[in-house]
Structure 1
Amino acid sequence: AISQAEQQAVQAEGGLSEAEARLGQLSPTAPAAARVEEIFYRPGEWAAANTPVLALLPDSEVKLVFFVPEAEMALYRPGRTVRFTCDGCAAPGSARISWVSPRPEFTPPILYSKGSRDRLVYRVEARPANAATLNPGLPVDVAPLGADQ
């Protein structure tokens, strides 16, 4: 009777493993904590195999993009921290520069800034410390770095 009960327990564990695998296939989880950026298919709609149903944006991929005049370019290096503000933000934020363009470009036609820009600028990307609180596309004002920072 003990041997038979042990065999039934092994079979039950196998059934549990199969059910967990099937659940994982039918309702997968996101690979990382992220916000839903776009929904391609709603419940009840049919999606072809291997077709994404959602577009996710992980907090680790939220970044600030801003442009720096050529005259100030030497101050901006990966690893440095910039301060920024935005409309509706409770307090100023900080972001660590993750990438600086090696090539200059002409000023884009639309820049969300309060002042005028030089015609030759460099694109800079920075990862904000409070990424979960920022919405993609939100205009920000980045404080210029000083030589003493």
Structure 2
Amino acid sequence: RRRREVAALGAREDALRQAEQQTAQARGGLSEAEARLGQLSPAAPSAARVEEIFFRPGEWAAANAPIMALLPDREVKLVFFVPEAEMARYRPGRTVGFSCDGCAAPGSARITWVSPRPEFTPPILYSKGSRDRLVYRVEALPANAATLNPGLPVDVAPLEADQ
């Protein structure tokens, strides 16, 4: 009878406690490994395109040195110049239409910034026809930024006065 009682009592409670401790230890090891992985291979903070790669696999980089340059889609913008005579129509918040070579369809962009000061026409201005000598720089965020390549020349449709 004593042997049966000892066999029935056994080390079940001790074995359960030991298994729970091993599980907690394994969870701690997993969280440590995940933290180390996050430090060694960080993810981009948002969807972005790779603009430039400074170091390739196998090359050594100094601590805290950038490995690559990223351009988030939300930072792709249209930059165009508006003649002084039409400047009053262009205000932040308004929408302009644009097209580009190779674009499937015309796009739209919301104006985010208009220069408060005029400047002279840049020496290289990708546009059709002639421009006035005094222009204002305008920046707009396109709706389809992920499909546009930075530096791509675009044709911006002039805004109408009653828009």
- Greater helix share, structure number: 2
- Equivalent residue runs for 1:39-58 within 5 Å: 39-58=53-72
1:34 matched residue in structure 2: 48
Post-superposition Cα deviations, 1:44-82, rounded to whole Å, max 9, x if no partner, equal 000000000000000000000000001000000000000
Question: Per-residue deviation at 1:114?
Answer: 0.5
Opposite residue 71 of structure 2, the aligned amino acid is L
1:18 matched residue in structure 2: 32
> Aligned-pair RMSD on alpha carbons?
0.5
> 1:92 aligned to 2:106?
yes
1:122 matched residue in structure 2: 136
- Equivalent residue runs for 1:64-79 within 5 Å: 64-79=78-93
The size of the alignment, in residue pairs, is 149
Highest CA radius of gyration, 1 or 2?
Answer: 2
> 1:63 aligned to 2:77?
yes
Runs of 4+ in 1 over 3 A off after TM superposition: none
2:126 to 88, 112, 117: 112
1:83 to 97, 104, 129: 97
1:131 matched residue in structure 2: 145
Percent identity over the alignment is 88
Opposite residue 54 of structure 2, the aligned amino acid is F
2:115 matched residue in structure 1: 101
Q: TM-score, normalised by structure 2?
A: 0.90
Q: TM-score, normalised by structure 1?
A: 0.99
Give the whole-Å Cα distance in 2 for the aligned partners of 1:111 and 1:21: 49
Which runs of 5 or more residues in structure 2 are unaligned? 1-14
